[in-house]
Amino acid sequence: GDSVTQMEGPVTLSEEAFLTINCTYTATGYPSLFWYVQYPGEGLQLLLKATKADDKGSNKGFEATYRKETTSFHLEKGSVQVSDSAVYFCALSRSQGAQKLVFGQGTRLTINP
Binding site for another protein (CB under 8 A): 4, 31-32, 36, 42-46, 49, 51, 89, 91, 93-95, 97-106
Min separation Cβ 49 and another protein, Å: 7
Nearer to another protein, 17 or 44 (CB): 44
- Cα distances from 80 to residues 22, 77, 92, in angstroms, run 16, 6, 25
Give me the amino acid identity at 94: R
Min separation Cβ 95 and another protein, Å: 5
Nearer to another protein, 46 or 53 (CB): 46
CA distance 5 to 104: 5
Min separation Cβ 109 and another protein, Å: 14
Min separation Cβ 91 and another protein, Å: 8
CB 95 within 8 A of CB 30: yes
CA distance 29 to 26: 10
Nearer to another protein, 45 or 112 (CB): 45
CB 73 within 8 A of CB 88: no
CA distance 80 to 111: 7
Nearer to another protein, 31 or 84 (CB): 31
